[in-house]
Structure 1
Amino acid sequence: MSDVRGLVDVLGRNEVFMGVVAGAEGLGLPQWYLTAGCVVQTVWNHVTGRPLTYGIKDYDLFYFDAADLGWAAEDAVIRVGAEVFGAVPVEIRNEARVHLWYEERFGVPCPPYTSTENAIDSFAATTCCVGVRAERGQWRVYAPHGLDDVFNLVIRPNPVLAPESVYAAKTKRWLEFWPELTVLPWPGKD
């Protein structure tokens, strides 16, 4: 079941996720994806027999719009999203802007991304490098590292950008909710 069809089947059972997909599609954002935790954690919940929304802190909605890198443009999208999604915690981010704030927040520089897919490629765990969206009723799935780790509950580090501390913090939180996860060590840490 660790294929695209299996992923879409599981995600389709999470009513909150599907509501966010519908709302996101209606926003018409360029290169948008629902990504990271809300995708993989829905699968983890399915695999471990938990309610599909269990432990999901928020729904990450990423898009890429290099036409206006100002905060005001991104904030306008966030405000519209707040109206669309209501009480559902949706974190909307323009990945074209990440390089402007990443170093201050995480202590390492981030080269400008060229697409939303490029941003997904740099997540701290390869397991979370998954994005999905609906385009006129058709699913588009971006999973550069495949889906086997997602369905097999394996967390694999991705040291291309995020520092080890980000990986450690994320995996610590995940293990509190999903103790069945197998967390692989950061490269060089055995």
Structure 2
Amino acid sequence: MGIIENEKDIIQLVENDPWVMKVLLTVRRLELPDWWVCAGFVRSKIWDILHGYETRTPMEDVDVIYFDPSNVNEQEEKKLEQQLGELNPNIPWSVKNQARMHHINGLPPYRSSEEGISKFPETVTALGLKVNVNEEVVLTAPHGIEDVLRMEVHPTPLFKEGKLKDVYIKRVTTKKWKEAWPMVKISY
């Protein structure tokens, strides 16, 4: 089992993985405003290492987000997915503009991609990575990294009660994370 204790360890893990770096550098080429590669892309890498896996767990998609309130047309996201597919066709790209995603949960508009990440259902999914202009890997974790490192799935504050708690429960039930990562503990 790998040891990851802090954000610096996560960043080093990313920098030492050519496939992860290729994904990040591919997205950076689009020069999207306030972009991040997030969610399962980050979480799965960490959990694979903590489980001692030598082979990457397959991902349904690679989530790319950005923030552009000047164009919230969903078709723009599809064009960006196509561009990423042309740059790296082996990746199942999923692109979402966080300037429109607040509508899904009936929330006020987000002010940034990081605010969008903070509204993801699980703390272990509310993670993002990018490469900045100085060629440095940057990690965002609005709810911290403790849960992902302990492999404990908890709802973010927004998804702790009411209708959104039902969304959280449905997600963690259907994702079947314990099948891929048996040491994961899920809190309902």
Alignment TM class, shorter chain as reference? 0.7 to 0.9
The Cα of 1:68 is off from its aligned counterpart by: 1.2
The TM-score, its normalising length taken from structure 2, stands at 0.86
**What is the Cα deviation at residue 159 of structure 1?**
4.2
Tell me the residue number matched to 2:36. Answer: 33
Q: Name 2:137's counterpart in structure 1.
A: 139
Q: 1 CA distance for matches of 2:145 and 2:15?
A: 16
Determine which of 155, 158, 178 is the counterpart of 1:157. Answer: 155
Contact 1:81 1:92 in 2 (8 A): no
Q: Secondary structure at the match of 1:160?
A: helix
Check if 1:79 corresponds to 2:82: yes
Pick aligned residue for 1:5 from 4, 8, 28: 8
Instruction: Report the AA paired with residue 120 of structure 1.
Output: I
Report deviation, 1:165: 3.3
* CA offset digits 1:75-109 (Å, max 9, x no partner): 32222122122121121111112135x2xxxxx42
Instruction: Assess if the C-alpha contact under 8 Å between 1:14 and 1:53 holds in 2.
Output: no
Is contact 1:14–1:52 with CA below 8 Å preserved after alignment?
no
TM-superposed CA distance for 1:67, in Å, is 0.9
1:56-95 aligned at under 5 Å gives the runs 56-95=59-98
Q: Helix, strand or coil for the counterpart of 1:61?
A: strand
Which deviations, in whole Å up to 9, do the C-alpha atoms of 1:140-189 show, x marking residues without a partner?
2111222121111111111415822332233232122112111122xxxx
Name 1:169's counterpart in structure 2. 170
1:22 Cα deviation from its structure 2 partner = 0.9
Between the aligned residues of both structures, percent identity stands at: 26
Superposed CA offset, 1:47-85 (max 9, x none)? 001135214222111111111122333332222122122
TM-score of the pair, normalised by structure 1: 0.85
RMSD, aligned α-carbons = 1.9
Letter in 2 for 1:19: K
- Provide the C-alpha distance between the structure 1 equivalents of 2:59 and 2:182, rounded to a whole number of angstroms: 15
Unaligned runs of 5+ residues in structure 1 are 103-107, 186-190
Q: Secondary structure at the match of 1:114?
A: coil
Q: Contact conserved, 1:42 with 1:52, CA < 8 A, in 2?
A: no
Q: Distance in 2 between matches of 1:75 and 1:179?
A: 35
The Cα shift of 1:129 comes to 1.3
1:31 is displaced (CA, Å) by 0.4
* 2:113 counterpart of 1:113: no
